[in-house]
Structure 1
Amino acid sequence: MTNDFSPPASRRPLYLALLGLFLFLLPVLLLGRHGYVLIHDNLDTEIPLVYLLTKLQLAFAYGRDVGVPEVMNGIPRNALRPGLSATVLVFSIFRNNPLAAYLMHQVLVRVLGLLAMYWLLRRYGLSQPGQRGLAAAVALAWATLPLYSIYGLTVLGQPALLRAALDLRQGRNPWLAWAVCAAFPLWSIFVYVGPFIAVVWGGLLLLDLARRGRAALPATVRGAVGLALLLAMYIVVEWPLFYSLLVAKQFVSHREEFDFVRLLPHGVGVGLKEALRYFLLGQYHASPFFRGVVLLALGLVLARLAPARRLVLGRRVGWVLLALAGASLFCGFAPQLAMLYQKQLPLLHAFTLTRFHFLMSLTWFGLFALALRELPATPAGRRLAYGLVALQCVVALPLNAEYVNNLRILAGVPKADAPSYTSFVAPKLFSQVKTFLLRQTGQPPAAYRVVSLGLPPAVAQLNDFYTLDSNQNSYPLPYKHSFRPLVAGELAKSPALATYYDAWGNRCYLMSAELGRNYLIGKQPPRTVQHLDFDAAAFRALGGRYLLSAVRLAHPEESGLRLLGVFTDSEAYWRLHLYEAPAAKAG
């Protein structure tokens, strides 16, 4: 039995891996507020919402009437993240500094992800004394994968859960394994992995029981207790979600109107293309990387093995690859299956079946470790093993937008459409607007509501404005209907935007047919919208007063708006045009 961390000499590979991780994180840590933070579904969505929960001290403020006033006229608290979460805890510690919270959170997630993979491999996969360095190298490759660190240990923490499951099967340290099962929900997201882990783990327990019969019964019981603990803790952590879904529904979600027939392309070719993408690359939310290095490693190893061993390993690898191919086919065609049954099964609107892909990265790394284990313990074999791990890092790093863009910033060649955190949030620019409105009206941001055009509403949210628009995974369906008149004229001009809003609608945004789905319009080059079909009366009825626009409106009076000022700042990515929707004159 290996002792993973105890002898001081054996810790050197792990320390070197942690040093490698530090060097990987160094660009974004050095740059700080001048560094790039992943924008899509991260800085424009997740970060501001966690920031608001902690800033307003609403993390544990549950109840049918509790809302977040800064967003969508008081979006229900239960539509956002649970308070019993390590992510929320980290943001609570840095309550007034979302960037510091995000960076600290990312460091913790990646460090724990590295330790989780090393912990798994030193027991299962690369457990020999001479394989410590290789296990640490694979753990480093795992911890530097492209991912949404704001999702916590949803992906990177899976190796710890897998080791717990394997330990329970073998009867090793069951109490520690159960503790891992109970802790995992505190730093992961149920809707992304919970149901899918339950299906896979439960299925493997049943398969083991069917294959080994009564001999597997003790292991099955231990595993079932671990799975039950995992799910029970998810219910505790996500209690508002389960309560609103199963006991007393707080609101009808806009997801009820998801229409996959309108929203998604379909056909056999489309499904096969998506399946191939899932198999070879993965999905961008769930640590995407090119699987070719793993396939290369497997091919090289199988070619070198003796026929008898090749047959045994090939059969094992073949079954896993077949399972991955089957899961990829399911994910590729699942949206089309949902199209067929979305009317009969309303739950399909709220539940994304394709999220089995969140488990695929760990499965591929398991195959990678299996291949590396078979390489001979010779100098040539070790060089080949480390070379394959290095190649895996080389093919994965270019997909890490934060890493690549921060290297570009350090090299003095930043991408024009990849603003730094400070450029994106533009605190000085929005402070100008806030001060201007306070002087003009004497009102703080809580007294009025704004919408944004050409920039994500998250920017205004991070600057403490109250926004009628937002990017939300779930919000009340009536609000979607009440917001639609604001953009109905523009949706009528663009069938693509109409489908995007009506059949999906997570981005409850102010839209322009002239801009399309471009929500990152910088100040250079200047942009002008010639005709914005905007319902100012509906905007006022919803409580709105000001429009924060990254583009100039050529004829604001046609939209029932008037220009109050244009604001610029050298650090800001945006040029803000401030428009007001004046109240209608009586009589």
Structure 2
Amino acid sequence: MPQDSKLPASYYPSVAPVWWAVLALLLLSLVYVAPAGRTYILIDDNLDTELAVPYALVQEGKALDYRPGTVVDRLLNGLPRNALRPGLQPLVGLLAVLPPLPAYLLHELLVRLAGLVGMYLLLRRYGLPAARHAQLCAALALAWAVLPGYTTYGLSVLGQPWVLWALLNLRRGSGRLSDWLVLAGFACWSSLVLAGMFVLAAAGIWLAWDAYRNRRVAWRPLVGLAVLAGSYLVVEYPLVSSLLNRQFVPHRLEFDYARLAPGGVGAGLAAAARYFLLGQYHAGSFLRAAPLLAAGAAAWLLPTSPERQRLERQLGTALLLLAVLALFCGFYPQLVGAVQHAVPPLRTFNLSRFHFLTPLVWFGVLVLSLRQLPAGRATWALVALQLLIGLGMNTEWTLNLRRQLGRLPSSEPTYAAFVAPELFRQVRLDIEQRTGQAPAAYRVACLGLPPAVATLNDFYTLDAYQNNYPLPYKHQFRELIAAELTKSPELRTYFDAWGNRCYLFSAELGKNFRVAALPKRTVQHWHCNVPAFRRMGGRYVLSAVRLARPEQTGLRLFGQYAAPRDYWHLWVYEVEKS
């Protein structure tokens, strides 16, 4: 492709249509508005882990403290700081100036707005550049911005159009300072291990293929990739430093996919079908109906011609790539389980996260197809279908809509009910009044509720949900729960072969990690190695269930706490003095 000496007028397209999409996104976001923190936000793998970590970093003033010996005292009895997310990410900065819920909601809105604008610019410049498509581009950008996904990961998914836009600009020789800044900004506002590595790999493969096909190297986008990679090295310094200096041995070295993976070809094919048709929930799980319908319609309606043959090759290549990737992801646990002893690093790094790229590829299929379809109601119907699917499968949005209608399920508490700040505040005050000890002077662990709830309420926990922590601590913590693991082979495999949830387990509860106040639950026989718990500084067990015989374990009831609006009924047990 020839190099452009000057930018064409369409480099920065008309912004009028996109403002309507921005306004629509803001109106859709009104469902999150609620008094007194009664907004619903995703709990699993989100509120139960991703918000507590940056909150702890900020509260201890260690967000930017990357010294090798620095530990975060509130997590896992002193978790190495460099095992946690970088302090340069926007969510961490927002938590430094706002309470957790407003910080989360503002961050989510900014992520979706950035995704909308990025997709609009990409489509207007490269996807659907004709002037008549401006409104269609805005509608597609809105459909992109509302996709379900975990916005605590920043722009890892929704910001990918910005990266492609910048690299294509550089490839055309029309790069400006804004293109370089976009690449650096993406590194600051995304996750290296979840998306960045795979964005770099995919872009590198694309540039290599481009160089082979055109018999020349496109140097500017190659330098752009170097800028992106270099920016990640700066932003993700905690991770890079811990790897290079081997500051601790990660618990991930004991991941055992052979024990975790469901066996058989049938299980692999079922997983592959889910990846192909729905995707993966962290990266945006939505039915791929609109792209598939659009591709079928375009291939069917376009008359036989070289243009149709080119479209069929493009769509066929994209769909084949998506199918191969779905098969790889579906069978990945089994593949790694078979070779993990020969290639130990595969235990610690998840190569199946290439699925973080698939939402953008599916939108590429949709856009390629829409380019060939005649403008009209059918085209708009496909875009509307994609928008409705994105909204309908966005659990956080739909549950907030149901909350507005007074129909929020009791199993899905609001932020205020889940975090229950007044309930936990009363626990802290009672402990301080009876013992004179502030939370930093003792450690707690949680049974039947995520430790992140205690962290967000300023307790110092021995347990946590972490994807990276020292292996010796996992072994030390296992002593506390060994008796319960012995009673449950399922939990034993769950902890020993994985262990990201470093929790107090109960064989009677199984994997029920959030036990609601109603109906009340009683655990008849629960065993904890209290002497080991005490040696680790543990003094209190915050339990969402009543223990029928706490004295058998060496605990005594300190108090019980409940409030009508809160999700939890807390029983607080104190370690008996030896």
| 2:10 counterpart residue number | 3
Answering whether residue 405 of structure 2 is matched by residue 405 of structure 1, we say no
Choose which of 444, 454, 458 in structure 1 pairs with 2:452: 458
Partner-residue secondary structure (3-state), 1:93:
coil
Q: Which residue of 1 aligns with 2:270?
A: 273
Whole-angstrom distance in 1 between the partners of 2:527 and 2:425: 29
Structure 2 residue 379 is matched with structure 1 residue 385: yes
Q: Measure the CA separation in 2 of the matches of 1:169 and 1:570.
A: 60
Q: Give yes or no for the alignment of 1:53 onto 2:47.
A: no
Picking from 476, 486, 503, the partner of 1:509 is 503
Q: Could you tell me which residue of structure 2 aligns to residue 62 of structure 1?
A: 66
**What does 1:12-27 align with in structure 2 at a 5 Å threshold?**
12-27=16-31
Q: Which consecutive unaligned segments of at least 5 residues does structure 1 have?
A: none
Match of 1:112 among 111, 114, 124: 114
Which residue matches 2:567? Answer: 573
> What pairs with 1:80-479 in structure 2 (closer than 5 Å)?
80-94=84-98, 97-213=99-215, 216-217=216-217, 219=218, 221-246=219-244, 248-308=245-305, 309-377=307-375, 381=376, 383-479=377-473
Q: Secondary structure at the match of 1:123?
A: helix
Q: Distance in 1 between matches of 2:220 and 2:262?
A: 44
**Are the aligned partners of 1:540 and 1:583 in contact in 2 as well (CA < 8 Å)?**
no
- Give distance in 1, aligned partners of 2:241 and 2:448: 37
In 1, Cα distance between equivalents of 2:362 and 2:524: 51
SS at match of 1:562: strand
Task: Flag the 1:350–1:313 CA change in 2: closer, same or farther, 3 A.
Answer: same
5 Å matches for 1:517-532?
517-532=511-526
Aligned-pair distance for 1:174?
A: 4.8
Give 1:4 shift: 6.4
Percent identity over the alignment is 52
* Alpha-carbon contact 2:261-2:337 (below 8 Å) kept: no
Distance 1:526 1:413 in 2: 22
Separation in structure 1 between the aligned mates of residue 309 and residue 28 of structure 2, nearest angstrom: 39
Match of 2:550 in 1: 556
Is the Cα–Cα contact under 8 Å of residues 81 and 238 in structure 2 kept in the other structure?
no
Check the 8 A contact 1:562/1:579 in 2, yes or no: yes
Give the distance between the partners of 2:225 and 2:546, measured in 1 at CA: 56
Deviations 1:477-512 (A, max 9, x none): 111111111111111010000000000000000010
> Is the Cα contact below 8 Å between 1:29 and 1:103 reproduced in 2?
no
Give, in whole Å, the separation in 2 of the partners of 1:511 and 1:89.
34
1:541, 1:330 → 2: CA distance? 45
Q: Secondary structure at the match of 1:393?
A: helix
Q: Distance in 2 between matches of 1:457 and 1:226?
A: 41
SS of 1:83 mapped into structure 2: coil
Deviation of 1:296 (Å): 0.4
TM-aligned CA distance change 1:362 to 1:31, over 3 Å: farther
CA distance in 2, matches of 1:327, 1:167: 27
Contact preservation (8 Å) 1:486, 1:536: yes
Q: Which amino acid aligns with 1:376?
A: P
**Displacement of 1:178 after TM fit?**
2.6
1:2, 1:123 within 8 Å by CA — same for their partners in 2? no
Contact 2:83–2:242 (CA under 8 A) maintained in structure 1: no
2:108 corresponds to which letter in structure 1? Q
* TM-score under structure 2 length normalisation: 0.96
Instruction: Give the distance between the partners of 1:263 and 1:329, measured in 2 at CA.
Output: 18
TM-score, normalised to structure 1, is 0.95
Alpha carbons 2:528, 2:553 under 8 Å: kept: yes
Deviations 1:254-286 (A, max 9, x none): 101101111111222222221111111100000
CA contact (8 A) 2:479 2:529 kept: yes
Paired residue secondary structure (1:545): strand
Which one-letter code corresponds to 1:548 in the other structure?
L
SS in 1 for 2:557: strand
Per the TM alignment, residue 538 of structure 1 is displaced from its structure 2 partner at its CA by 1.3
- Partners of 1:573 and 1:199 in 2: CA distance: 44
Query: CA shift at 1:32, angstroms?
Result: 6.2
Partners of 2:516 and 2:568 within 8 A in 1: yes
Assess if the C-alpha contact under 8 Å between 1:2 and 1:127 holds in 2. no
C-alpha contact 1:452 1:549 (8 A) present in aligned 2: yes
> Mean alpha-carbon deviation: is it higher for 120-129 or for 343-352?
343-352
Give the Cα–Cα distance (whole angstroms) in 1 for the partners of residues 540 and 567 of structure 2: 20
Displacement after TM superposition at 1:411 (Å): 0.6
Q: Deviations over 1:366-389 (max 9, x none)?
A: 111111122223xxx2x2122111
In 1, the alpha carbon distance for the partners of 2:240 and 2:512 equals: 35
Aligned-pair distance for 1:86? Answer: 2.1
Q: Distance in 1 between matches of 2:432 and 2:57?
A: 25
Q: Which amino acid in the other structure matches residue 209 of structure 1?
A: A
2:82–2:241 CA contact under 8 A, matched in 1? no
2 CA distance for matches of 1:40 and 1:461? 16
Distance in 2 separating the partners of 1:326 and 1:316 = 15
| Whole-Å separation in 1 of the counterparts to 2:312 and 2:32 | 42
Assess, with a 3 A threshold, how the Cα gap between structure 1 residues 270 and 326 changes in structure 2: closer, same or farther: same
Q: Note the C-alpha offset of 1:204.
A: 1.4
Distance 2:364 2:223 in 1: 24
What is the Cα deviation at residue 398 of structure 1?
2.6
Paired with 1:22 and 1:162, the residues of 2 have a C-alpha distance of: 25
CA distances 1:332-384 after superposition (whole Å, capped 9, x unpaired): 2222221122122221121001000000000001111111122223xxx2x21
Aligned amino acid, residue 71 of structure 1: L
- Structure 1: how far apart are the matches of 2:15 and 2:338? 54
- Tell me how far apart the structure 2 counterparts of residues 195 and 266 of structure 1 sit (CA, whole Å): 28
Shift of 1:50: 0.8
Q: What SS does structure 1 have at the residue aligned with 2:558?
A: strand
Q: How many Å apart are 1:2 and its aligned residue?
A: 5.2
Cα deviation digits, residues 513-544 of structure 1 (max 9, x gap): 11001011111111100000211111111110
Post-superposition shift, 1:208?
1.4
Please give the secondary structure, in 1, of the residue aligned with 2:96: helix
Q: How far has the Cα of 1:310 moved from its partner?
A: 2.0
Question: How many pairs are equivalent?
Answer: 570
